[in-house]
Every structure is written in C-alpha cells, then in structure tokens.
Structure 1
Amino acid sequence: MSEMRSEGAPSLAAWPEIPFEAWRDTCGALHLFTQIVGKYRLARTPWVNHSWHATLYVTPRGLTTSLVPDGPLGVEVVFDFVDQQVIVEATGGRRAAFALGPMSVADFHARVLESLASVGATPDFHGRPNEVPDPIPFRQDTAPRPWDASAVRRFHAALVRIDRVFHQFRTGFLGKVSPVHLFWGSFDLAVTRFSGRPAPLHPGGVPALPDAVTREAYSHEVSSAGFWPGGGPVDAPAFYAYAYPTPEGFASAEVRPAAAYFDTGAGEFILPYEAVRSAPDPEATLLAFLESSYAAAAGLGDWDRLSMDCPTGRPLQPRPL
C-alpha cells in the first residue's frame, strides 16, 4: 500500500500528467469518498431534473456540495485537496474538519457522520454505493485504502482546466443545458445539452442504480460529454461524448481531433486525455472534440440548431442578437 505523499501542488501552466494506473487505488477510494458526501447532499436536497441536485462542483481547492438545505441550516461539505482535508460548515459559523489520508471507506464514512452531527446537520443518508459492481455498504467496507496526495492534487489540477473548457463550451447553446458538474456515481465531470424533445424510455440496467433514476435522467434527448479519470470504458483518463437516443450514423461521424474514436462497446466517442494534454493547444483540442461530437449528435438527430446554437461567450461581451 502506497503512503501518503506531501509534494506541492502542480504547476498552474501545464495540463498535468494523470496516468490512471499510478493512482488507481487512491482514485477508487476518492470515488467512494465522494459518494458518501454526495449522498448527504442527495438526501437533503429537493429533486431537480436529471439528478442535478446531487452533484459536486469543482472549486479552486477541490470539490464542493455547494449549500445544502438541512432543516433550518445551510451546510456545505468541501474536499480541500490543497490542504488535504474535508471541511463541513454550517450557517451560524459551526465548522468541523478532518484530514484526508490512508483510511478505510468505513472510517471516512464515520468521520463524515461525526462532522455533520457536530455542526448540527443531519447525519442520515443511504449507506451503499451506486453505479459500482458488487457494492459494499460503507460501514462494512473496512479494507485499508491508500492515499496519494500528490496524485489527488494533479487530478484536481486537471479538473480545473477541464471545467474551464466545459464552461466555455456550455455558453454556445441557447437551449436547455446542464451545469458543469461531477456525478459521484459514475465519477465523471459532465455537461449535457438537450434537444427539447422527449426521449424513448431508457432500458435502465445501470449497476446498483434504480431504473427510475436512470429513466428520469434520460427522459429527454441529449448530447452529453464528460471526463473520467479512468476505470470507465477505458482504463485511462479520457473524455467521452454520446447521444441518447443514438442517431443513425453517429458511430461513423467525423469527430475531431484525429485521436478521437468511437468505442463500440461503450457506444461513445472517446478522446484520450493524453492526446489533449500533449497537444500544442489543449483547450482548443478539447473544444474541437466537444463541438464536433455535438454537431454530429445534433445534426444526425435533426435538432433545431438554428434556434439553439450561438457563438461561445466572451467576458464583458453581450451575446449578439
């Protein structure tokens, strides 16, 4: 088991290297840790379409639930990857924190419950992971888990850069579009555009996820893109893009850059993170993937692009009419 490292934060200039195999076990622990925190938000927040009420958001220091309504309180839970800690804060000034490091999922779960209770929040939520095979209840997952702090910081540095490009891409659409958010079930940062039309009933079948949740998430036609750190359809960090329902001809559509390919098993276009990181202009390369995969989904799906598409936004420049 690798030990916790204390190297400094990665450079702000370059896109960091984040090879999955080097931090696979830490990534698996972080995935389950985010599920525990995310389930607290899920349990306390009124349902928003497509489960948008349950997600986490990228911050300069890590990830946050944003403000969670909990009785008379507002509560925020933060993963601080700079100082390697979890912080729980409630309105009125009450605060609790504990260090991130090697520990079991059961230990992390207990510390979250203790921290929530100490600030007056409600430490009561669903206690089993979602969207993972053979889920073990958090309280029973007592196996030691490693924690590579340097790898977590590099992962966060990548998320900050990806989040910026996803937000830029999000501005070029006038129709319904999701926030840029991290789904802790599948552990991906994602952004989704909607055609405005209802979709066929989704078949469900996502591991450890009620079909009703999946079907509500895909109740309307989508073109979606996102990023996995690894452990998805490919065992490496990668971007993905898909459409639901998948229009005829989507798999053979021309999607940029040349490193992008259609994965028939996943039913999605895949672009390796390394192809973006090593490109002369990583942001432009990623934006080309987002825009060309959306163009394929919307064009082949006969979306009303004349009324939905618009130029991407620029600071201090109102959208031209």
Structure 2
Amino acid sequence: MSERHGTWPALDHDELAPTIGYVNRITQVAGKYTLSAPFQAGWGNIVLDVTPRGLRTPTLRGSDVTFSVHHRLLDGDVVIEADTGTRTVSLAERSVASFYRAFCDTAAELGIDRPRTTLICEIEGSARTFQDDHTEHTWNPRAARRMWEAWNLVSRGLEAWQAPFLGNHPRVGVMWGGFDLSATRHRAQPTRPRSDLPPFQQNGELNAYVSVGFAFGSAGSPSSGLYAYIWPQPDGLESRSWGVAGAAWHPDAGLVRLPWDELGRTADPQEAIVAFGDAVYDAAVALAGWPSDLVGPRVDGWYMSRTPAEAVARPPHR
C-alpha cells in the first residue's frame, strides 16, 4: 500500500500515459551512456535504480569524467552529478528535443560528451530521434508521484523475491527502453535467440532466464500490473497455478500476468509479489529443468541468529 496514505495507489492509464511517455523518452537520453559499459547477461547492468526521488543511472565511468544521472520525478528535474560538479535540468514545460539540447549543453559544462546515439527505441509510434520529438509536455507532479509509488512498492517485493537466489541476477531496476521494472534470474544454459528480434534483444536471449517484473499499461492493454515469463518458454504453462488470486497465463502474449488492482486486493501485496515470483520459478524448475537448489532460505538479514551461516556456526544445544 501507499506508505504515506495507507491506500493502494490507483494507476489510471489516461491520467498517467502522457507522463509515462515523456519520462520513458527522457530517461533514454542518459540511458544511452550505460551501453558503453561492458555487456552483462541480459543487459542487466543498464537498469535504472528506483531511488527515494525517482530513477538513477548506475555510476558511469568515462575516460575523463565519472558521473550519474538522477531523474528526480518527485522534484520535476534531472540532476547530473559528476566528479567535476553538479548541474540540474528542469523537466517542466518542454519537448524531448528541447530537453535533449538542454541536457547535452549542461553535461558539456561538466566535461561529459553527448550520448553516442540519439535513437528513440522500443516506443511504438515515436519520433525516430530525440531531436525529432517536438511534442510539448506539461509536467504532471501527481502522475510522476503515482509512477514512483508503483515502482517503489513493487521494487520492495521483487528485491525480497530475488534475495535468496544464488545464481546470476542483476539488481532490480527499470529497463529504460521497454520501461518495465524487472527482476531477472539467469542460468548458464546457452539458447538460440529468436531471429525476428532486433539485435539488442537477441543479445538478451543468449542464455536461459526467468523474468518477473512490473509494467504500466499501454494504449492496446491499459491495465498495469506484474508480468512474468520463462525463456526459453517450456510447454505446460497453461496448467500451472501462479500463487496469487487473479494471476493467469496469457498464451497470446507469452506472459503470466497479475493485474495491479488484483495485487492491491491481496492481504499483503509484498508477500503476494514474492509468492507470484516463487510460483513462476517453481514452474521453471518443474517444466524447464531449472535447479531447485539455486534458491536458498529467505531470511531477514537483521536477525543474524536466523541466518544460515550463524546456524552452522552455532548449532543448537542438545
């Protein structure tokens, strides 16, 4: 629930869509810098962290400048923080093209080069480049806060689900292209990517993985909510149970979905997110041969006496 108001935040597509579209585009500007980092499985190192104020890039270590970019959605601005200084760019009352110009001019003051590409990716019907997108946007603080609230709530659940996994898993974060919040578990099992995908998505399918995440609704599918899938997709998913009332397999999309409103009706949404993720991983174990021993016990780290290491070090008295 919303920690401040004690209510489940409503995600009305018509209200949120303009702000989602704008933020998706402007986060891609800074997101392009992450592509200069060494490739990690599934592009896991390019995700944006959900912070107390918005979305932040990982630390970007250039040849001359080390910096990060913080999209402070609750403040309506973008902060570029570098070893050479700090600058701020406003998000209010501007187009993607004007934001791009302002961002690049401001970054240059800190010794940061322009992004190596300006293509807008993974947004259907979008202009081709940042410079081509002249649609004027009015900043909506209420919509921006609702977006952050949703990401913040789901991040807590996904981080709890991900914590006991012993295999390779990038941090939970927002993929700035497709704009979904994801938690992914990788397995060292080479796979054949689908040939009909663009090259960057084929690179994301080089090994098997399980992904659980959250996405806002779109024009064709306006309902926000959790999603999950297993790559490569095994047979038998249509007969599985998904741990939470309202979660269901959608064969046309190749996704398990849990609508946002259904998640909000559960007794404990955080526990429901964990249960949803566990059900998806159980399906991967049962149908796709994933190892069950890659998941350790789920323990609250504060209580050291309950952790596995402490239990081994100090066995119970007989």
Instruction: Judge same fold: TM > 0.5, yes or no.
Output: yes
Cα distance in 2 for partners of 1:221, 1:41 equals: 23
Partner amino acid for 2:296? C
1:314 aligns with 2:300: yes
Cα distance, 1:202 vs. partner?
2.6
Aligned length: 305
Cα distance in 1 for partners of 2:123, 2:196 equals: 15
1:143 aligns with 2:135: yes
Cα distance, 1:313 vs. partner?
3.3
Q: Is the 8 A contact 1:250 1:297 kept in 2?
A: no
Aligned to 2:105: 114
Q: Deviations over 1:268-295 (max 9, x none)?
A: 0010111112322111122111111121
Q: Matches of residues 4-83 of structure 1 in structure 2 within 5 Å?
A: 11=4, 13-42=6-35, 44-83=36-75
Q: Matches of residues 202-281 of structure 1 in structure 2 within 5 Å?
A: 202-205=194-197, 210-211=198-199, 213-231=200-218, 234-281=221-268
Where in structure 1 do 4 or more consecutive aligned residues deviate above 4 Å?
A: none
Q: Matches of residues 149-160 of structure 1 in structure 2 within 5 Å?
A: 149-160=141-152
Cα distance in 2 for partners of 1:123, 1:279 equals: 46
Specify every segment of 5 or more residues in structure 2 that has no aligned partner in the other structure, as ranges: 313-318
Cα distance in 2 for partners of 1:125, 1:12 equals: 43
Q: Is the 8 A contact 1:180 1:191 kept in 2?
A: yes
Cα distance in 2 for partners of 1:89, 1:65 equals: 11
Aligned to 2:316: none
Q: Is the 8 A contact 1:238 1:272 kept in 2?
A: yes
Cα distance in 1 for partners of 2:120, 2:74 equals: 26
Cα distance, 1:178 vs. partner?
2.3
Q: Is the 8 A contact 1:38 1:184 kept in 2?
A: yes
Cα distance in 2 for partners of 1:252, 1:232 equals: 29
Cα distance in 1 for partners of 2:76, 2:98 equals: 16
Cα distance in 2 for partners of 1:152, 1:178 equals: 25
Partner amino acid for 1:245? P
Aligned to 2:272: 285
Cα distance in 1 for partners of 2:259, 2:170 equals: 23
Cα distance in 1 for partners of 2:137, 2:7 equals: 29
Q: Is the 8 A contact 1:172 1:309 kept in 2?
A: yes
Higher relative contact order (CA 8 A, sep 6+): 1
Cα distance in 2 for partners of 1:293, 1:181 equals: 19
Q: Deviations over 1:132-156 (max 9, x none)?
A: 2344211011121232111111210
Cα distance in 1 for partners of 2:93, 2:243 equals: 40
Cα distance, 1:232 vs. partner?
8.1
TM-score by length of 2: 0.90
Cα distance in 1 for partners of 2:298, 2:170 equals: 16
Cα distance, 1:188 vs. partner?
0.4
Partner amino acid for 2:190? P
Question: Which secondary structure does the structure 2 equivalent of 1:224 belong to?
Answer: strand
Q: CA RMSD in A?
A: 2.0
Q: Is the 8 A contact 2:74 2:144 kept in 1?
A: no
Cα distance, 1:25 vs. partner?
1.3
Aligned to 1:102: 93
Cα distance in 2 for partners of 1:253, 1:233 equals: 26
* Change in 2 beyond 3 A, CA 1:232/1:292: farther
Specify every segment of 5 or more residues in structure 1 that has no aligned partner in the other structure, as ranges: 1-8
Q: Is the 8 A contact 1:168 1:313 kept in 2?
A: no
Q: Is the 8 A contact 2:161 2:273 kept in 1?
A: no
Cα distance, 1:164 vs. partner?
1.1
Question: Which secondary structure does the structure 2 equivalent of 1:246 belong to?
Answer: coil
Q: Is the 8 A contact 1:38 1:54 kept in 2?
A: yes
* Change in 2 beyond 3 A, CA 1:156/1:233: same
Cα distance in 1 for partners of 2:160, 2:69 equals: 26
Q: Is the 8 A contact 2:50 2:151 kept in 1?
A: yes
Q: Is the 8 A contact 1:15 1:158 kept in 2?
A: no
Question: Which secondary structure does the structure 2 equivalent of 1:98 belong to?
Answer: strand
